[in-house]
Amino acid sequence: MSSTPAPAPFTESKSEPKADEAATPAPTPEPPAPEPPAAESPIASTVSVPADPSASDGEGGEWHLLMEKLNGWLADAKLMELWQQSQRPLKLLGGALALLLVLQLTSAVLGTLDAIPMLPRLLQLTGLIYLVLFTSRRLVRSDERRSLIEGIKTSWSSFTGK
């Protein structure tokens, strides 16, 4: 086992500075060099519009610039052309939103009805009774069956247009 000598404790010396040391000032650190600019940030590339001299103190020129562009766009009279182009997609979007609304409302009503005790079983019983009555009146005799099938065929052909 080798022993290492223990470091000597730090002691401050109280010696006076020499005359030539006192005459030369201590070097001052240089300020760091400016870093090269990074890529332009999106904030630095925004458009700055000077304030309108006729506007109040808190209002800038952005509003007036926006209104001028909007008035110029409306003055081009391309609105009817734009409406004709976007009419079909807007109708499809409106129909999809209406369908979604109807489905949500139907789901909410059925969920509420399902939460009522015994109501789902009573509705199933009602449906079963109606099915038995319908088949006994319309499907037992062959002439009634033919008239029912003909009625369904005529309804389908008028619906499809064939």
* pLDDT tens, residue by residue, 79-99: 777 778 888 999 999 999 999
Spatial contact of 76 and 85, defined as CB atoms under 8 Å apart: no
Predicted TM-score of the model (pTM): 0.37
User: Rounded distance, CA 105 to CA 103, Å?
Assistant: 5
Spatial contact of 111 and 117, defined as CB atoms under 8 Å apart: no
pLDDT band at 10 (very low <50, low <70, confident <90, very high): low
- Give the phi and the psi of residue 47 in degrees, each rounded to 5: -85, 135
Specify the residue for token string 């002691």: 11
Spatial contact of 114 and 120, defined as CB atoms under 8 Å apart: yes
- pLDDT, one tens digit per residue, over 19-70 is 555 556 566 666 666 665 555 555 656 666 665 566 555 556 788 888 888 8
